[in-house]
């Protein structure tokens, strides 16, 4: 029994594989890392990716393709801010529009003054925008989003139907979301994930959201594993996790299990044989 004390086993349909991604470098990061008060400047309202940020996106896109991750993902969930959507479509999108193949664009050409070509939805998983995985709300202008009508023009193939209001009614100029409120919102987001049928999901979000959401996990692990789960994310870092439902709250049913069958009648094994075998 000592050999299995550090191990766990769970039914596959009660687990999800989630690929957590922090957005690539935005213009606000460049100034904010030198002077934290820069995050409060209206100059960085809904900040876009820097040229270096787009290089980070290209590097991660190559990684997810070389490791076969992109072929497995059933859904991409993205925070509805410019830098996260640019990162998400750049990493998990369908590429360009070569050979005249028609598909709705995940991102239009030069979206967010990016100087980037359009990105197709061809052979890409569905993308859905979700407010619950936004960055910490309030005060910092880089964390305020534009109207959804503006985003729909830039990201036509992203599904914004889960967002209730066109205008950003969550962000306020004078009240900053607390750590506890952010952690609670993160838990609501993870609870929402269990309502989805998809089993392998990429989530493109933000540093503080990841830090405070993941802080609730890993206490039942050895300290190095807890640290691996909870350490801060670099720009455009991807970390893959298995998310386990221990509460039996998951709605999905087994898709790969096979019930088998004991033959009826004279071919059925006796109880003695069943016990011996």
pLDDT digits 0-9 by tens, 124-139: 999 999 999 999 999 9
Report the pLDDT value the prediction gives residue 186, as an integer from 0 to 100: 97
User: CA separation (Å) from 221 to 2, 155, 227, 230?
Assistant: 16, 40, 10, 12
Res 257: pLDDT: 83
Is 258's pLDDT higher than 50?
A: yes
- Active-site pick, 23, 28, 206, 212: 23
Instruction: Round to whole Å and give the CA distance between 243 and 266.
Output: 45
Is residue 135 part of the annotated active site? The answer reads yes
Q: Are the beta carbons of 235 and 24 closer than 8 angstroms?
A: yes
> Following DSSP, what letter does each residue of 148-196 receive, concatenated?
HHHHHHH-TTEE-TT---SS--S--SS-PPPHHHHHHHHHHHHHHHTT-
Instruction: Find the mean pLDDT for residues 20-24.
Output: 97
In the chain, the domains with their CATH numbers are 15-252 (3.40.50.1240)
User: Residue 271: is it exposed, middle or buried by C-beta count within 10 angstroms (0-12/13-18/19+)?
Assistant: exposed
Catalytic pick among 19, 131, 135, 206 = 135
The H-or-E segment that residue 273 falls in is helix 271-276
Of the ranges 6-10, 14-18, 119-123, 127-131, which is most confident?
127-131
Query: Rounded to an integer, what distance in angstroms lies between the CA atom of residue 219 and that of residue 23?
Result: 26
Kindly report the pTM of this predicted structure.
Answer: 0.88
Q: Per DSSP, what are the bridge partners of residue 200? A: 17
Residue 162: pLDDT over 70: yes
How high is the mean pLDDT of the chain? 89
- Give pLDDT, residue 259: 80
In which element (H, E) is residue 54 found? helix 51-66
212 is catalytic: no
Please tell me the predicted confidence (pLDDT) of residue 253.
72
């Amino acid at each position: 029994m000592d050999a299995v004390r550090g191990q766990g086993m769970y039914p596959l349909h009660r687990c999800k594989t989630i690929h957590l991604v922090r957005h690539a470098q935005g213009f606000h990061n460049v100034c904010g890392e030198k002077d934290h008060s820069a995050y409060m400047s209206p100059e960085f309202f809904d900040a876009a990716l820097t040229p270096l940020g787009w290089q980070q996106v290209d590097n991660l896109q190559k990684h997810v393709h070389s490791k076969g991750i992109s072929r497995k993902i059933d859904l991409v969930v993205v925070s509805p801010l410019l830098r996260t959507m640019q990162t998400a479509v750049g990493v998990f999108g369908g590429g360009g529009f070569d050979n005249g193949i028609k598909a709705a664009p995940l991102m239009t050409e030069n979206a967010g003054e990016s100087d980037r070509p359009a990105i197709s939805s061809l052979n890409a998983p569905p993308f859905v925008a979700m407010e619950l995985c936004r960055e910490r709300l309030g005060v910092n202008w880089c964390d305020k989003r534009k109207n959804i009508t503006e985003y729909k023009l830039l990201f036509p193939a992203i599904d914004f139907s889960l967002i209730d209001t066109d205008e950003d009614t969550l962000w306020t100029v004078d009240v900053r979301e607390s750590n506890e409120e952010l952690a609670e919102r993160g838990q609501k987001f993870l609870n929402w994930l269990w309502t989805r049928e998809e089993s392998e999901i990429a989530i493109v979000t933000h540093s503080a959201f990841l830090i405070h959401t993941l802080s609730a996990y890993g206490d039942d692990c050895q300290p190095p594993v807890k640290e691996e789960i909870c350490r801060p994310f670099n720009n455009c870092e991807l970390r893959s996790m298995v998310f386990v439902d221990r509460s039996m709250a998951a709605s999905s049913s087994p898709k790969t299990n096979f019930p088998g069958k004991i033959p009826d009648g004279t071919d059925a094994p006796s109880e003695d044989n069943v016990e011996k075998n």
